[in-house]
Structure 1
Amino acid sequence: MDPLSRPVGHASANQSAIQSPRTPSKSQLSTTSAAAALPASMKTNEAKTFSSITNHANLSGRSSTRSNSLESSGGANKPHTGRDVRWEAIQFAIARGTIGLSNFRLLKRLGYGDIGSVYLVELRGTNAHFAMKVMDKASLASRNKLLRAQTEKEILGLLDHPFLPTLYTYFETDKFYCIVMEFCSGGNLHSLRQKQPNKHFTEEAARFYASEVLLALEYLHMLGIVYRDLKPENLLVRDEGHIMLSDFDLSLRCSVSPTLVKSSSVHVSSGSGGGGGILDDESVQGCMQPSTFFPRILPGKKNRKSKSDFGIFVGGSMPELMAEPTNVRSMSFVGTHEYLAPEIIRGEGHGSAVDWWTFGIFLYELLHGTTPFKGQGNRATLFNVVGQPLKFPENPQVSMAARDLIRGLLVKEPHKRIAYRRGATEIKQHPFFEGVNWALVRSALPPHIPEPVDFSQYASKEALPADKKGPDVGGDKNDVSPPENKNESYIEFEYF
């Protein structure tokens, strides 16, 4: 089959899902402009969806909610959010009983995508705000996308990283799946790029964002997760200016066995498949569910030798951890046209190297304000990805180190691509990232700090206290028309 004639835009159980054209796609948009960012045709429909969710919460109460809070949020704080007051608020609500839609007040829609919409919500009785992704069960089932929703929920439950989302709780009703996550006030990186002079970032700013994305991808690969949907729209900006990688419904879960690499050589031939001595060369298993994580650092005690016998200090450096799921193969046709790797378009099967291709496209877009293979239409874009060489415009000018890294990432044959075997370790050592203190990236000063959100604009307009609201029985739970006397708080929803 002609790879450029493969069907796109229709997801199936095999995850054939291409997002095009470039859209906000599930990401949280800025709270100050979310309504304006919606297509005009979406606003009326969204008002109905909003009221449907609200009415469902008010009428069903807690009786129809099935909570998975113990699995998703747990009893202990995750390390990087140990002093997060939102954790305390959620855990307090869970301690009082099963948590569900009735515990939250919907304030504004932040974004929408293929499998659900994301809302800014407030936990009732607190000042804690969250982003809640709401997915309609019937819609997912009718489009064979239940697996994608399940995949995203499972992956979010695994994550504990400063540049990845925090899952506070998950629950479902008879109508909706709901994922409660961290709210990012700064919108997405695509919108932020559009506001830059000439619509591109400085090289210093691009290095900052790329370094945080690189650490997030490294962590995901260590967990056996191939992300597959990297683009600025899926990078959200937190209150303090650091980023958060979002949207995992197109991700692939595999097993991976991290190993140590003796050599710390910076320059490794791109066709060598890595380099250095691997202490355990059986480092990757095939694709499976769920992911497994088997760190193999040193031999057992009986056969353990001295550190020098294993070359622990080769060239005066510690060995490198390699955790790249290179052997995974997927035939899914997923992604965004401008970011698709050639092996996906050609239908050859793909693995974790697609994330390094998209990382190259991502870095190119941050520096130049456009993607390198964009054509007049989607078909032309796919043709350019497969058949056209990489070119750099004369302006804006970027450093030779930046161009060299992008060239190494945008190699059309995945096995020759930088990081194919050694993953993020090889990219970290590239001259483009010279001077980056990887241990202190989280403490670096961001190039942009979002304006704080004034949550007082969402002050409650409810006529009755939450515990004295209308009856929990009667009425049509699927009613989407604005009731006149049922709940006055509907007024703040109907204009979305």
Structure 2
Amino acid sequence: MDSHKIPPPELDIENLRATKILGKGATGTVFLVHDKSRDHPFALKVVEKSSVHHHADRRARHEISVLRRLSAAAPHPFLPHLIGSSENEEFICWAIPYCPGGDLNVLRYRQNDRVFSPAVIRFYLAEIICALEHLHGQGIVYRDLKPENILVQQSGHVTLTDFDLSRELVPRKSGNPNFYSDPEEEKPVKHPPRNRKITRFVIPRRGNHNHAFLNKKGLKKAKSARVSPVSRRNNPNDFSTNERSNSFVGTEEYVAPEVIRGDGHEFAVDWWALGVLCYEMMYGATPFKGKNRKETYRKILLAEPGFIGKPNALTDLIGKLLEKDPTRRLGYCRGASEIKEHEFFGS
């Protein structure tokens, strides 16, 4: 059976108990949830269907579809799997493994000088590259690589999260074989089965009183987005709701030049974002941040990243990942294999 047609396991809402809000984004809230039938807690993302975020349920369905596809294949150590999902008229929710180590941004802020050593950078980059390689092998371009989306598992290894901006690409029938098209342009949106029991899901409070956090009045609001000292989340209205392979999506400081130019893009945007991530891990700041969005985009298009001290293997890797022409960017021709062969990973 095609992995796209495999329905996700349906969550048994009656057995779930939410104990903590892990974070809140523009369209959804993430809860730490315990299941009576499971030994370990998991993260439950809940998206409210509303006219304010009319694209939220579409993104939610897409993320569930990506997680379902990843779960149908052999499990990957640096990518999440779908534990289950459920839906009613007001909410869509799905469960993935809980990562108690926070995200990479939080972890960096705990370091001396708020930067990572080259050895630590090598460790995390290697795992992230393997995760992206697996996604690309599945025909999925991630499009949202940033520290806040890289979570740390109990084991200390990383896992990527938030796939609502990702897209499935397929090789074009003609033209440059390195470029891909978006099959979503031709495929209708598929809706998962509905579950009316979700409104009975409750979160315990101190004492003997409980209250539903999913009710007719909507989600209980959280104060912050993801648990991180710095939030780069943009207003969702800044981006087109018609996300294609030539659409403008991503996080401001991590957006690739070809996305800003509107040239169309594919897997190479993830390797650009990897270069920005690597630079931020090394220096504690992104390489092209300006005083405002316009200046940031101008720097992305025209400026070169600034390095301190003598050139070394790490700065060489960053420079090759931050090549503004995607066809000359490290990883464009042979994907992750090119990056793995760089001297930084052999030193």
| Shared fold per TM-score greater than 0.5 | yes
Offset, 1:376 = 1.7
Q: Give the alignment partner of residue 123 of structure 1, picking from 23, 35, 41.
A: 35
The aligned residue for residue 155 of structure 1 is: 66
Task: Please state how far the C-alpha of 1:127 moved relative to its aligned partner.
Answer: 3.5
**What's the RMSD between the two structures over aligned residues?**
2.4
Where does 1:57-456 land on structure 2 (aligned, <5 Å)?
Answer: 71-73=7-9, 99-124=11-36, 126-139=38-51, 142-159=53-70, 160-256=75-171, 286-289=181-184, 330-394=245-309, 400-434=312-346
The 1:391/1:99 distance shift into structure 2, 3 A limit, reads: closer
Query: Do the aligned residues in 2 keep the contact of 1:230 with 1:359 (CA within 8 Å)?
Result: yes
Give the deviation of 1:134 after TM superposition: 0.3
Residue-by-residue CA offset, 1:30-61 (whole Å, 9 max, x unaligned): xxxxxxxxxxxxxxxxxxxxxxxxxxxxxxxx
Measure, in 2, the Cα distance between the counterparts of 1:421 and 1:385.
22
In the TM superposition, structure 1's runs of 4+ consecutive aligned residues that sit over 4 Å from their partners are 281-285
Cα contact 2:245–2:264 (8 A) shared by 1: yes
The SS at the match of 1:422 is coil
- Partner AA of 2:312 in structure 1: M
Task: Give me the TM-score of the superposition, normalised by structure 1.
Answer: 0.53
CA contact (8 A) 2:47 2:57 kept: no
Q: Tell me the amino acid that sits aligned with residue 271 of structure 2.
A: W
Q: Distance in 1 between matches of 2:102 and 2:297?
A: 28
Per-residue CA deviations over 1:435-473 (Å, capped at 9, x if unaligned) read: 6xxxxxxxxxxxxxxxxxxxxxxxxxxxxxxxxxxxxxx
- Give the whole-Å Cα distance in 1 for the aligned partners of 2:97 and 2:5: 15
Indicate the SS of the match to 1:71. coil
Rounded to whole Å, the distance in 2 between the matches of 1:99 and 1:164 is: 20
Offset at residue 176 of structure 1 (A): 1.0
Question: Residue 343 of structure 2 aligns to which amino acid in structure 1?
Answer: P
Q: Distance in 2 between matches of 1:342 and 1:122?
A: 43
> Could you tell me how far 1:330 is from its partner in structure 2?
1.7
Aligned-pair distance for 1:126?
Answer: 4.5
Q: Within 2, Cα distance between the matches of 1:174 and 1:139? A: 13
TM-score normalised per structure 2: 0.75
The alpha-carbon distance between structure 1 residues 100 and 176, as it changes in their structure 2 partners (threshold 3 A), is farther
Number of residues paired by the alignment? Answer: 280
> In 2, are the aligned partners of 1:254 and 1:290 still within 8 Å (CA)?
no
Q: Shift of residue 99 of structure 1?
A: 3.4
1:283–1:415 CA distance, 2 compared to 1 (3 A) = closer
Change beyond 3 A, Cα 1:407–1:70: closer
- Between the aligned partners of 1:169 and 1:412, the Cα distance in structure 2 is 40
Does the CA-based 8 Å contact 1:69-1:170 persist in structure 2? no
* Secondary structure in structure 1 of the residue aligned to 2:271: helix
User: Using a 3 Å threshold, how does the CA distance of structure 1 residues 349 and 286 change in structure 2: closer, same or farther?
Assistant: closer
CA-CA distance at 1:69 after TM superposition: 12
Rate the CA distance shift 1:285–1:202 in 2: closer, same or farther, 3 A: closer
Bigger Cα Rg: 1
Could you tell me whether the CA contact under 8 Å between 1:223 and 1:255 is conserved in 2? no
Distance verdict in 2 for CA 1:176–1:203, change over 3 Å = same
The structure, 1 or 2, with the larger RCO (C-alpha pairs under 8 Å, 6+ apart) is 1
- Counterpart contact for 2:18–2:32, Cα < 8 Å: yes
Tell me the alpha carbon deviations over residues 120-143 of structure 1, each in whole angstroms, 9 at most, x when there is no partner. Answer: 000035443110000112257x53
Q: Matches of 1:99 and 1:191 in 2, distance apart?
A: 30
CA distance in 1, matches of 2:273, 2:324: 12
Percent identity between matched residues is 43
- Counterpart residue type for residue 119 of structure 2: E
Letter in 2 for 1:146: D
